[in-house]
Amino acid sequence: MASRDFLKNPKLEERFFRARVYMVAFLVICSIFVLGVRLFHLQIVSNEHYATLSQENRVRVVPLAPTRGLIFDRNLKLLADNKSSYQIEITPVQVDDLQQIVKQLAEYIELEEHHLKKFFEDVKRKQSFEAIPLKLNLNEIEVAKFSVNRHRFPGVEITARANRFYPFSGLNTHALGYVGRINADEAQKLDKQMYSGTTHVGKVGVEKFYENLLHGEVGYQHIEINAQGRKLRVLEKVPPTPGADIVLSIDARLQKIAQESLGERNGSVVAMDPVTGEILVFVSTPTFDPNLFVNGISSKQYSLLRDDGDRPLFNRALRGQYPPGSTIKPMMALAGLHYGATWAGETMYAGPYYILPGHKRKYRDWKKGGHGKVDMYKAIIQSCDVYFYTLATELGIDKISEFLSQFNLGSRTELDTWGEAKGLMPSVQWKKAVYGQPWYPGETVITGIGQGYMLATPLQLAVATSAIAMRGQGVRPRFLRATRRQAQAEEPASATAMPTVNVESDLYWDQVISAMVDVAHKPNGTAFRIGKDAKYKIAGKTGTAQVFGLAEDEEYEEENVAEKLRDHGLFIAFAPADDPRIAIAVIVENGGSGSKSAAPVARVVMDHFLLSKEELTATYGPKNKAQKNKDSNSLANSSANISINNAVN
């Protein structure tokens, strides 16, 4: 057909066409070469880079949370357990519409607002392939209801997890603290890797302080996943190392005794072994059930606790700062002896009040008629205020402050827990710094009987009492008795000495301690009611802390004062006096006199620590514990020897 065309030149056209084909062929080869170079670059030059990316793509490292260490009391009673409970978890990547799924789940599982809030907060924080708990601690009905409808919820699963459980409920809360869900703030601060699988962290108390010991080390699971994030198989597994178990020095049995002795009253009991520093009792009433906080407390429950007038959330033993009142008198006496302001047998006349030379103001004694002729012994035994007003004035605030500071008043005891309050040991410098005012002599007077600015926590008082019991060789208080790692021997914790209290002569210790023994064992002692029938020697001191000031001429009438404004009763003691094994500080808020309210509590606790079972039965009878509690109260009421420290400022 083409041959019919006159204008066609076949030879020329063929040459022309071939030239084009050659050119095209050349371009084709060049292009293939370019592709080759590109692929060379991807597969050879950048191979390592892409191999890494590919590995990251397919392998997910899934953390395996370690089991939290258990917490025992000194007799190896379990205080903090891990109880397996069911929780419902959602893996966001496997769910199309989270809101929708959660809404549907609410038909089977009771969901409160705080569950949802926490869940969506976690969704934002965690990666989409991680299973995020929606609600912990499901009950059996919820588990059953969900299980029946499980097929309707892909990406939603119920898993069993070990959850913290405190079998003694509120008994040890203020010592143990509790764990709770990790919040966004904590997530920032915690080691991201170590806590990658962990849901709970110690929030307060020992649980927080020993978090590192208790937590353990995270394990890993390398799992192969596909592009949808579904787990295909486990490639490698590094099991987690469980946290160490810890043995605390507290005694759950004594805790219970102490708590029951305090009864409905607000207060605190701190008892420790003055030799080792081990805390035996650490009670603050009222208390609360820490289990409420483990899986997220509802706002309703929380506000109930928060707004309770008795402040159950407040850790009185650790953070309650009270005027120590007359409990500092033995230390004041030591200061007087040490600085040579007096000697034990020196007598003075103590009238019903004290007047600073050149002033008019009367500083009253708690005893209306005054104590008459007193020496240091009698001043401690009867808690004579006038004697100590005089002594304080003679010593001056600088010496008082310096000497009492040696007993750790005004500074933290460094107990192994969180949030300890410092108390307050006033000084001239302190007042200048805080109030910008000079120190007035009248303030020295009332400091002499532990009133005024001075504040101490029950823990501090127990530590100071230990220091007296040990004649100045105090020891740091601690909760930790031992740690136990899996398959390893128990590692006992060791005692740390506190700075020694320096006193000119050891004789002074004997003098002050013998006066403290007489407080409990002499009929005129303020704590005779608890000492008279004791089977061991108690060295103690009562105290009363004023809650509100009285005018100069006013009389404090306990019955006439509203409970909230009634004095706090205090008592410090150690026993046996010649071989101290327990030092105790008790405070009963608004309990009135320390002799009536606090001392009996101390006696019951000391009895249960020091006496054998037979002796206990002989004293308290084979009754139930509630009965025992009543006994100790009647014991308190039967005695007529009342000590009220009626200080006036």
Partner 1 sequence: MASSYSIRDSLVNSPIREERNLFNIDPTLFISLVLLCTIGLAVLYSATSGEMAAITRQSIRFALGFAVLIFLAQIPAKELARWSPWLYLLGIALLLVVMMIGYSGKGAQRWIDLGVVRFQPSELLKIFLPMMVAWYFSEKPMPPTIPQIFIALIIIAIPAGLVLTQPDLGTALLIAFAGICVIFLAGITWRLLAVFGGIALASMPVFWFYLHDYQRQRILTMLNPESDPLGTGYHIIQSKIAIGSGGVYGKGWLNGTQSQLDFIPERSTDFIFAVFSEEFGFLGVVLLLCAYGFIVMRGLTIAARAKNTYSRLLAGSLSLSFFAYFLVNIGMVSGLLPVVGVPLPLISYGGTSAVTLLAAFGILMSIHSHRKFLSY
DSSP letters for 378-423: HHHHTT-HHHHHHHHHHH-HHHHHHHHHTTTTTS----SSS-----
Helices assigned H by DSSP within 263-328: 291-294, 299-307, 316-319
CB of 53 to partner 1, least distance (A): 5
Q: Which is nearer to partner 1, 49 or 306 (CB)?
A: 49
Closest CA to 461 of 260, 281, 269: 269
Q: Phi/psi of residue 82, each to 5°?
A: -110, 115
Long-range contact set of residues 424-433: C-beta below 8 Å, sequence gap at least 24? 424/321, 424/453, 424/454, 424/455, 424/456, 425/401, 425/454, 426/397, 426/401, 426/452, 426/453, 426/454, 427/397, 427/398, 427/401, 428/397, 428/398, 428/401, 430/401
Q: How far, in Å, CA of 385 to CA of 416, rounded?
A: 36
CB of 131 to partner 1, least distance (A): 20
Longest C-alpha distance within the chain, in Å?
Answer: 154
Q: Which residues bind partner 1 (CB under 8 A)?
A: 1-5, 7-10, 13, 16-18, 20-26, 28-29, 31-32, 34-36, 38-40, 42-44, 46-47, 49-51, 53-55, 57-58, 224-228, 232
CB of 111 within 8 A of CB of 102?
yes
CB of 265 within 8 A of CB of 588?
yes
Name the residue with tokens 């009895």: 607
CB of 572 within 8 A of CB of 539?
no
Q: Which is nearer to partner 1, 50 or 343 (CB)?
A: 50
Q: Phi/psi of residue 372, each to 5°?
A: 75, -135
Q: Which is nearer to partner 1, 129 or 302 (CB)?
A: 129
Q: Which is nearer to partner 1, 30 or 507 (CB)?
A: 30
Secondary structure string (H, E, C) spanning 344-362: CCCCEEECCEEECCCCCCE
CB of 289 to partner 1, least distance (A): 46
CB of 195 to partner 1, least distance (A): 27
**Residue type at 641?**
N
CB of 231 to partner 1, least distance (A): 11
Q: How far is CA 201 from the centre of its chain?
A: 13
CB of 197 within 8 A of CB of 65?
yes
CB of 229 to partner 1, least distance (A): 10
Q: Which is nearer to partner 1, 37 or 141 (CB)?
A: 37
Q: Which is nearer to partner 1, 31 or 524 (CB)?
A: 31
Q: Which is nearer to partner 1, 49 or 630 (CB)?
A: 49
CB of 218 within 8 A of CB of 198?
yes
C-alpha torsion 586→588→591→596, nearest 10: -20
CB of 91 to partner 1, least distance (A): 17
Write out the catalytic residue numbers: 326
CB of 30 to partner 1, least distance (A): 9
Long-range contact set of residues 405-408: C-beta below 8 Å, sequence gap at least 24? 406/467, 406/499, 406/501, 406/502, 407/331, 407/463, 407/464, 407/467, 407/468, 407/474, 407/501, 408/460, 408/463, 408/464, 408/467, 408/474, 408/498
Q: Which is nearer to partner 1, 230 or 362 (CB)?
A: 230
Q: How far, in Å, CA of 411 to CA of 424, rounded?
A: 7
CB atoms near residue 356 (< 10 Å): 17
Q: How far, in Å, CA of 582 to CA of 87, rounded?
A: 44
CB of 234 to partner 1, least distance (A): 15
Q: Which is nearer to partner 1, 8 or 361 (CB)?
A: 8
CB of 326 within 8 A of CB of 542?
yes
Closest CA to 584 of 446, 435, 430, 468: 468
Q: Which is nearer to partner 1, 30 or 144 (CB)?
A: 30
**How far from 124 is each of 21, 181, 212, 446, CA to CA, in Å?**
61, 16, 26, 58
Q: Phi/psi of residue 587, each to 5°?
A: -130, 130
List all residues 6 or more positions away from 443 whose beta carbon is below 8 Å from its beta carbon: 397, 426, 431, 452, 453
**Residue type at 608?**
H
Closest CA to 210 of 416, 486, 476, 477: 416
Q: Strand 582-588 relative to strand 267-272: parallel, antiparallel, unpaired?
A: antiparallel
CB of 230 to partner 1, least distance (A): 9
CB of 434 to partner 1, least distance (A): 59
Q: Which is nearer to partner 1, 44 or 640 (CB)?
A: 44
Residue 449 has what DSSP assignment?
Answer: T
CB of 235 to partner 1, least distance (A): 11
